[in-house]
Structure 1
């Protein structure tokens, strides 16, 4: 399963990727807006938005460029526990 995480804390980017790997998922993490982001999102199975720590521009870009079959999950907290709970519910 492929996962794209938008938002969150930059210092936890590696930890987000490790948690996804533990759940058997390939992950891309975008904590800040970067040039060419629309092309880098791709076609993930799951799009996770950490809404508390993300800019409106980044959310809009991610939602506009996702595929129709992509599931979107919004979480107000960007903790490891929140990510783990989301992945245990969706990645089975």
Structure 2
């Protein structure tokens, strides 16, 4: 399953990647807004938003693309590894 993770802390990038890899998911992590963000999102199976550590513009762009491409969005206020694991379980249950 492919996932786009939006937000979080720069220092946690490798931990987010490791958590997703252990559960068998491919992940793209965006802690900062890249140029043409709407184009780099692609067509993942789900988008995870860490709302406390991301700009409103990034959230707006990600949600807009998710609606347009019918991608499920999972939001969490905290950006910890445990939060990510919980969201991944929720995503797996919803897509199975």
User: Where does the alignment leave 5 or more consecutive residues of structure 2 unmatched?
Assistant: none
More helix as a share of residues: 2
What aligned pairs does 1:1-92 form with structure 2 within 5 A after superposition?
1-66=1-66, 67-68=69-70, 70-91=71-92
User: Where does the alignment leave 5 or more consecutive residues of structure 1 unmatched?
Assistant: none
8 Å CA contact retained: 1:52, 1:77: yes
Q: How many residues align?
A: 91
TM-score (norm 2): 0.89
Q: CA deviation at 1:40?
A: 0.5
Q: CA deviation at 1:36?
A: 1.8
Runs of 4+ aligned structure 1 residues displaced above 4 Å come to none
Q: CA deviation at 1:65?
A: 1.7
Q: Counterpart of 1:91 in 2: which secondary structure? A: helix
CA RMSD of aligned residues (A): 1.1
